[in-house]
A and B are shown apart, each in its own frame.
Chain A
Amino acid sequence: METHHIIRVVGVTKAFSLGKMPVQVLKGVDLNVATGEYLSIMGPSGSGKSTLFNIIGGLDKPTSGRVFIDEVDISQLDAYELAWLRNRKIGYIFQTFNLIPVMTALENVTLPMIFAGMPGDHAVDKGRKLLGDVGLGERFLHKPSELSGGQQQRVAIARALANDPAIILADEPTGNLDSTTGGEIIALLQKMSRERNVTIISATHDFKMLSVSDRVVWILDGRIDKIELRDELKISLGTIQERHEPARP
């Protein structure tokens, strides 16, 4: 059976112009992502992970190249269609959580559903259920500032799942969390992706992420350095950690 590729990245480059000097951040990235896959993007700081994340998620436009989501070229979409894509197709999770500070956990989770036109009481029911699923059944009336980092990230995961997206994009979802909490968040992401057959793409420095990934894409200086399947990873994981871990603070 042919695998269905929910995301296809074709020859994507991205240059930022800093003053007069253009900086080439992505230098030609090609990548196919299968439906339901858990993909990690690894690479040193500044290698272009977040830039690629933004482009795949329709938050930023590539300088050249194309991104297809469900075979639709997202550079061809107008503002309405892009908004729809962000609302329905993709859920975003960020390193800094990015919850709306003036809203409660529940309001944060229901907002994408309201935008999607869901009636208020349905949205509240579903929001409560999602918050329960991520382990925050009781704390739905708290503001983000009253929640711990791990709890905030759980709210963000619930919000990302609000409209049953096909794809979840996570940029260093454990970057601001301690190791244990980070592990819990990773386990939660994995559980959600299994249960809901959501495709997850996660940019990360966190080696705990590798063991749950189906594939790992290594980015180096704006290019894909290598792509490893989970089985290959298990073999080389020890050496990877030896190579990278000491360099981290």
Chain B
Amino acid sequence: MPETENRRLRPKISRQIVLPWKKSLAMAVSSLKIRFLRSLITIFSLVLAIAFLCFTLTNTAIARELYRLHGNMALPLLIQAGYLFDPATATINAGPKELWLMVLSLLVCTVGIVNAQLMSVTERFREIGIMKCLGALDRIILRLFLIEATILGIFGAGVGCLLGMLAAWGGAFLNYNTFDCSEIALLPLLAEASRAWGMGIGLSILGVLYPAILAAKLQPVIVMKEEY
């Protein structure tokens, strides 16, 4: 009898637990604001890594621009600065050291985000358990964490990009002052910066995936335990 009873229930209730997007967004924003310090800690490594990434990418773009504008005249300086020149395709690329540092910093940053998010989830065990007692579905919890991470990514990586770009432009003014830089096109530089930005947002989301799944899978009964 319970089986048929359950089947009778099923179509009626399958879509009845909801959290509208607007409300999810509002909750995520207020959660980030209230835990501002924790949010800062979470994005700290992201800001640094994306600043470095954006700095390196923008620098390379500036180098390319210089080569485009001044051709072989600029080459000695660029090669001295560590860039690789591929004569076959006539392109300037970042040196292996820079590439290696970029990859390394992104790795460290991802580990940093995962670590900070795990701590943040642990701090919120009780809160998540309460939401589950009130009927929250796994995917509602998951979504809240993903939205928070996306917002953190947009801001953290955004700040990182700004810092990186400023540093790269400042450096270019100092290092390449013997050349006429007024013709440098902005677009390729901004394209590199937005690549770094997108990468940062992606990493922020990637870093929260495991902690968020952990949070979503929490059992509501944990609210009964004293230790959280």
Contact = CB atoms under 8 A, between A and B. Distances in A.
A120 B130 CA distance: 20
B9 A81 contact: yes
Nearest to A95: B224
B3 A102 contact: no
B185 interface: no
Given A72-B6, A80-B13, A94-B223, A102 B34 contact: yes
Interface stretch (B91-99, B132-140, B168-176, B187-195): B132-140
A141 to B, nearest CB: 13
Contacts of A171: 224
B31 interface: yes
A68 B6 CA distance: 11
Interface string A73-92: 10011011101101110001
Given A59-B220, A102-B127, A115 B134 contact: yes
B2 interface: yes
Nearest to B134: A112
Nearest to B10: A81
Size range of the chain B interface in the assembly: 35 or more
Interface in A35-64: 50, 54, 59-60
Contacts of B127: 100-102
Contacts of A60: 219, 221
B6 A76 contact: yes
B131 A100 contact: yes
A71 interface: yes
Nearest to B5: A72
A11 to B, nearest CB: 15
Contact of A72 (B2, B30, B224): B2
B36 to A, nearest CB: 11
Contacts of A66: 2
A98 interface: yes
Given A98-B126, A100-B131, A102-B35, A86 B9 contact: no
A187 interface: no
Contacts of A115: 17-19, 134-136, 140
Given A100-B130, A102-B31, A116 B135 contact: yes
A114 B23 contact: yes
A161 interface: no
Interface in B122-150: 126-127, 129-138, 140
12 contacts: A59-B224, A71-B2, A77-B6, A83-B132, A84-B16, A86-B220, A94-B223, A114-B18, A115-B134, A117-B17, A120-B23, A171-B224
Interface of A: 50, 54, 59-60, 66, 68, 71-73, 76-77, 79-81, 83-84, 86-88, 92, 94, 96, 98-102, 111-112, 114-117, 120, 159, 171
- List 3 tightest A-B contacts by C-beta distance, closest first: A87-B135, A73-B2, A84-B13
